[in-house]
Amino acid sequence: MLLRLFLPKNMALLLQKSYHLVSISSGLVPPNVMASTKPPPADEPPRNQHVDSANSTNTLESNTLESNTGWAEKVTASNSVRSIYLSLTTHLIIAIVLTLWAIVPENQTNRLSPVVIDFSTEPEKEWGETKGDDTAATLLTEAAEKDKAEETSKDGPDASEKDTTTADSQPALPILALEPEKEPTPDSAVPQNTPMQSKQSHRIPKQTGMSENTQDTKTVPAVSGQMVTASRAEAKLALAQRSGSARGETAVAKGGSPSSEAAIERGLLWLARHQAANGSWSFEHPYCTDPFGHPSQQCLCRTKGYIEGHTKASTSIALLPFLGAGNTHLNGPYKEVVYRGLEQLKTTLDIELKELHLENPDFVSTFSGDLYGYGITALVMAEAFAMTGDPDLERYVNALSVFLARHQHPLGGWRYELGQPGDITVTGWQVVALKSSQLAGAPVHSDIFRQADHFLDSLTPPATSPRRGQAQIVANQIGGITRDPTRYHYLASFANSTTREPGECTSAVGLLCRLYTGWTSNDPRLLQGVNQLLKSNTHPALLLYRNFYLAQILLHIEHPSWDQWNRRNRDFLVRTQVTKTTRMDQRNPAFGSPLCEIGSWYLTNPRGTTKNAIRDRHLAPAGRLAHTALAILTLEVYYRLLPVYKPAAIE
């Protein structure tokens, strides 16, 4: 009866049957407890006498055996011992059944999340958006009010901006008194970061500043071969623009908007939700945390990447936007996310990078390729070290710099595997990472950049005579051949082809690398190459990778087209992000997106007729993760001022 009170009916019956079987096996309950116990008939005395005689004989034999039986047999034959055995066995069966019942999936009400995240929103509200009553400090200051009238006058004559709309309705900001539910104007104030609260890991080291005995400057080789001084103080000052009020002031001054900053915060939240339990990211991101903070069995995002492995590349490309927004493993609303990501990278490097174990000659590296991932990882480590001064990161920055320098191809480039002649995209990441590491204090020799400059020469196509109306090409004489240094092929083997044309993306990478290898901001070859890219008629959905590089170039050299180009590119990215509003707009490419995609990007050309005309072929293998990371990085260009992005670092 008690079993039926506390357990389901079918489980109670199962326990009763188990109890009865155990009772029978223990001997406390005879098998035929319901058998008849009537005395034998009176007409069978001979048989009874025989039985009595047999019983007396058996009793005599039993007494004889009992005298020879040990104490253990006597104890186990006791009814009290059997009763205790029955009780223990019954309790064990009950415990097993209850355990099996408890672990049935349908009885699980909660699962542990890999990251404890407080999204600070109710389910019916759109997560990731800054609330109008947010008490956190606003990223933009009153500088927005001063610049608003001037920027509005600049926008007036531009007819192309009249059709530009923002991606989502933003709440009112305390500093600008915008109307609630009103569509934001492109050039007004920027909202504050949406904090992402998480439990602080006890492994996070105490923040350490630069040593008092360390000088603010470090002498490093110049690109020209002469010795120059790269100021670490200037680098720290530039990095400080990524957070606090300085971030807002810089965004206002250089072209940011409240909608672009809100898009960044939604994008960071999407990246944080798709971080794996071990701190890594995957281009395939099979699992995630849903928009309300609950772990999902399966990520419902579409257009995932199809690159298996390459965890260093996917984790590093996802960490860069957090660092760009001022988050480190020591500070910021996403410090736990950054910490776990850095720990995952360090764990991988510890078993792959021989340069970290110089004191151990018996160390065997497990490196198996993926220089692409190593370049982005080196950039992440250099940024994190420059932003925090954490001495634990310094050894990784130095080791990665030595590793990349050691494995530069004799022709000056890098590619995916060791010993391969370089390609432009992999080489681009290595050049940026090494320049960043150099200005963070790593000993990177100028010969590396000179060799990279020679490699870039090998990617340029032969110069052709300009057509009527075209500007005269500023050509280079390389190996007795007149070449066009304003455009760049993917591989050197394509350079002499008569059927291949240099791509826009590869040309943008090449021009940016030229800045890091010695070209000045007013070099006519650079300006001509940039002007050619600005004349492109390609759909912007196919130019995300190109525009990531082009935005940096235009801002570096303070190109006169920056304001107009930036407005168009910035608002296009804001408009095409998946948000609560855009996924319900039938005219928007994000229409019909699942909730899991809110905050992400995957740009497509709705008018495309072929695969390469529908999506950016350079980013298609890396999927939604790469699209989202690069879109955020492009929107952060206003204040993502690493030393490699400052004119002082490239001139």
Which amino acid, 40?
A: P
Examine residue 552 and state whether it is found in any structural domain, yes or no.
Answer: yes
What gap in Å lies between CA 266 and CA 437, rounded to an integer?
A: 30
Examine residue 471 and state whether it is found in any structural domain, yes or no.
Answer: yes
Residue count of the chain? 651
Alpha carbon distances (Å) from 545 to 13, 422, 602: 66, 19, 12
- For the chain, the domain total comes to 1
In the prediction, which pLDDT does 211 show? Answer: 39
pLDDT tens figures, 226-280: 334 345 666 677 778 888 888 888 998 999 999 999 999 999 999 999 999 999 9
User: For residue 292, which of 122, 170, 133 has the smallest C-alpha distance?
Assistant: 122
Examine residue 201 and state whether it is found in any structural domain, yes or no.
Answer: no
- Here the CATH number for the domain that contains residue 592 is 1.50.10.20
At a CB cut-off of 8 Å and minimum separation 6, what does 565 contact?
Answer: 534, 554, 559
pTM over 0.85: no
Contact assessment for residue 117 and residue 197, using Cβ atoms and an 8 Å cutoff? yes
pLDDT tens figures, 444-485: 999 999 999 999 999 999 887 665 555 556 666 666 678 899
In the prediction, which pLDDT does 88 show? Answer: 85
User: For residue 542, which of 606, 602, 612, 616 has the smallest C-alpha distance?
Assistant: 616
Examine residue 330 and state whether it is found in any structural domain, yes or no.
Answer: yes
In the prediction, which pLDDT does 364 show? Answer: 83
What are the tokens at 572?
A: 């296009």
Which portions of the chain are predicted below pLDDT 70?
Answer: 1-77, 101-235, 465-480, 641-651
Residue 549 lies in domain? 217-650
At a CB cut-off of 8 Å and minimum separation 6, what does 273 contact?
Answer: 117, 288, 289, 290, 291, 599
Question: Could you count the other beta carbons within 10 Å of the beta carbon of residue 169?
Answer: 16
In the prediction, which pLDDT does 291 show? Answer: 74
Examine residue 420 and state whether it is found in any structural domain, yes or no.
Answer: yes
In the prediction, which pLDDT does 452 show? Answer: 97
- 366 three-state secondary structure: coil
In the prediction, which pLDDT does 243 show? Answer: 83
Which residue reads 């005219």 in tokens?
Answer: 587
What are the tokens at 63?
A: 């007494």
In the prediction, which pLDDT does 641 show? Answer: 65
Sign of the Cα pseudo-torsion (193, 197, 203, 205, in order): positive
Examine residue 62 and state whether it is found in any structural domain, yes or no.
Answer: no
Examine residue 162 and state whether it is found in any structural domain, yes or no.
Answer: no
Examine residue 207 and state whether it is found in any structural domain, yes or no.
Answer: no
